[in-house]
């Protein structure tokens, strides 16, 4: 459990550090820097080779990876970290519910929907509608990422498929990232922060989660991962000073509860 918790905290700390770079690099420049460093590290670690039969899946995986991270960072530039992660978590929740055939999971869907309603922008509310839409888009990409990762895992050994997808994602964002980030991308302090984000948001959590899955049942792992929105809200408050209203905290709590229930009862993945 400590491994999963460590991975969640690492990811959200990485997002908090990334937020601090937005003024210099913008969201797109920041995500380009993160994916670029992560691609270099994973490529050096796994030394991937492309297999002809998996070319389309790898390209799709890279596109999804780029879309997921870009839309999430753009959302983070508009709405608090805890709320952004809560909306994004609709993606894996949807995948879990779609794979389920249990009637009680309809209740989890309704509970999650109630949480989303509480977080949704109301007339005169403080939540940015475009930020919410971008976070939901990131969630849709996250759902696609989960589906594609199963195929990639069957086609490649270890983390080779992930490394290739990261390279493709970084390549897709290279031109827009440079255009937005400009000369600030040459600043050593900015580069150091980008490398730190890559480690916190990619290398460290992926390693911890991989090790955790060796010891924990899938259902338990899913329940622990469902705490991510709550951890994000806590880090957003502690690190970034992002206050949330009681209504917003209630919405996050409902989504966490629904996610825990749905992920706990999700069927195991099909082995290839």
Average pLDDT in the chain: 86
**Domain boundaries of the chain, sorted by first residue:** 2-264
Q: What is the pLDDT of residue 265?
A: 66
How far apart CA 242 and CA 267 sit, in angstroms, is 36
Q: For the whole model, what pTM was predicted? A: 0.89
Nearest CA-CA partner of 199 in 50, 16, 37: 37
Average pLDDT for 213-236: 81
Place of tokens 């338990």: 220
Average pLDDT for 93-111: 78
> Pick the residue with more confidence: 95 or 142?
142
User: Rg of the chain over CA atoms, in angstroms?
Assistant: 18
pLDDT tens digit sequence for 254-268? 999 988 887 776 655
Q: What is the pLDDT of residue 210?
A: 64
> Pick the residue with more confidence: 179 or 125?
179
How far apart CA 152 and CA 150 sit, in angstroms, is 6
Do the beta carbons of residue 115 and residue 258 sit within 8 Å? yes
| Residue 151 banded pLDDT, cuts 50, 70, 90 | confident
Exposed, middle or buried: residue 124 (CB in 10 Å: 0-12, 13-18, 19+)? exposed
Helices marked H in the chain: 2-46, 55-76, 81-88, 90-99, 104-119, 129-155, 160-181, 188-198, 204-212, 218-225, 228-240, 246-264
- 194-211: string of b/e by CB count within 10 Å (b at 16+)? bbbbbbbbbbbbbbbbee
Query: Is the pLDDT at 238 greater than 90, yes or no?
Result: yes
How far apart CA 73 and CA 18 sit, in angstroms, is 8
Q: What is the pLDDT of residue 125?
A: 57
> Pick the residue with more confidence: 33 or 211?
33
């Amino acid at each position: 459990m400590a491994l999963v918790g460590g991975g969640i905290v690492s990811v959200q700390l990485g997002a908090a550090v990334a937020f601090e770079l937005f003024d210099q690099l913008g969201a797109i420049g920041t995500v380009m820097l993160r994916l670029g460093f992560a691609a270099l590290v994973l490529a050096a670690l796994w030394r991937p080779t492309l297999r002809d039969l998996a070319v389309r899946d790898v390209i799709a995986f890279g596109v999804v990876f780029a879309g997921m991270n870009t839309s999430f960072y753009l959302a983070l530039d508009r709405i608090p970290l805890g709320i952004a992660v809560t909306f994004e978590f609709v993606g894996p929740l949807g995948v879990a519910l779609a794979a389920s055939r249990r009637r009680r999971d309809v209740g989890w869907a309704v509970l999650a929907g109630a949480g989303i309603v509480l977080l949704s922008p109301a007339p005169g509310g403080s939540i940015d509608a475009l930020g919410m839409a971008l976070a939901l888009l990131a969630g849709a990409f996250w759902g696609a990422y989960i589906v594609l990762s199963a195929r990639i895992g069957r086609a490649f050994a270890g983390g080779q498929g992930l490394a290739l997808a990261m390279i493709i994602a970084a390549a897709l964002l290279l031109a827009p990232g440079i255009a937005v980030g400009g000369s600030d991308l040459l600043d050593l302090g900015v580069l150091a922060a980008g490398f730190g984000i890559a480690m916190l948001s990619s290398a460290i959590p992926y390693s911890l989660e991989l090790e955790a899955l060796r010891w924990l049942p899938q259902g338990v792992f899913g329940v622990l991962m469902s705490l991510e929105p709550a951890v994000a809200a806590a880090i957003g408050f502690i690190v970034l000073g992002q206050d949330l209203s009681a209504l917003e905290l209630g919405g996050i709590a409902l989504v966490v509860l629904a996610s825990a229930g749905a992920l706990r009862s999700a069927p195991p993945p099909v082995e290839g």
